[in-house]
A and B are shown apart, each in its own frame.
Chain A
């Protein structure tokens, strides 16, 4: 089953990357961009298992490795089969 973990800088944590990209977009004339935050995305192919179990597993993996809980938060999505 396919899953996706999105890891973003926590609210309030400085995001120099997002800020720089937003500036670049503005200077290219994309003024419609009001805010931009930059994070990571992991696309994961997981062995089949019950959804609840998969979700628990993904949270565990995120907390342990994929994200840095001190400065990042994460969201999990599981593809419908």
Chain B
């Protein structure tokens, strides 16, 4: 079987990339996770790793070539596949991922003053508002694969919560209710009254708390692997996230997020490490930890109040989630639609981005 290697999209603002260097030559066997090539974007040079094992048969893009996201850059195929077949495949390849995302190419993050905090957010597209709320230790870039396609039909807004991403590295109100209050103030500051709320993990609990506190402002509620629906949680992941310092330890911890642990590459781990080194991050994360955990369990459980939510509620859960137990997605009230994703862990917006996009579109349509 022929497997295409295409120019990746590393975030909303990426439209094209330049091949800097090939690490693997045609004919070589590669393992899953092995470095294939370095690609330079306007922002950063990064390494594309092999998603699966196989034999690299062809470089389609040479060093120095700049290609749009989704373009074919290499071909993997078993040794027995004839060259002619690969020629034909390369000749007939069509970019299926459309690079345009509601003028996303020009989109740059902005900041909003919220109280004495500065919150960073990325807003793209036009239409009904969709707000993305990341989880503990994440940031708005985690939504890239979901926000980008949705921006063609919605006014998408992904924010960095206090203490995260490029927002102020202080968390004055670290509990779920406090964060929901910051979210409300943020939406006030950017002039969004009502939105589809999409929250992940801790961000799911925040979205839920927001919807309970401000029922009229939630057009719909989409909770991905959400916190707040049970006591159990992988507290070790949170503690290690805060305290692991060496990259191998950080990588090992991050691998728990995914069904396919090979998705944790050095760039992701390095991003986490660099984030954690910033002044104030340690204290912010510890504040969140202190408010969020009670011993080895979640301090705030809103499960009993889920039925109160008036907007349509969608819960998406990967069956392989090792952070928040998927069992907490069972037995939810009737107003909640639950979708299970196979071969997905705690990060369905990354591991199953296409499916999540489809589910969200359908959900928003239902809510409209």
Instruction: Please indicate whether A and B come from the same complex rather than being unrelated chains.
Output: no
> Which residues of A line the B interface, CB within 8 A?
none
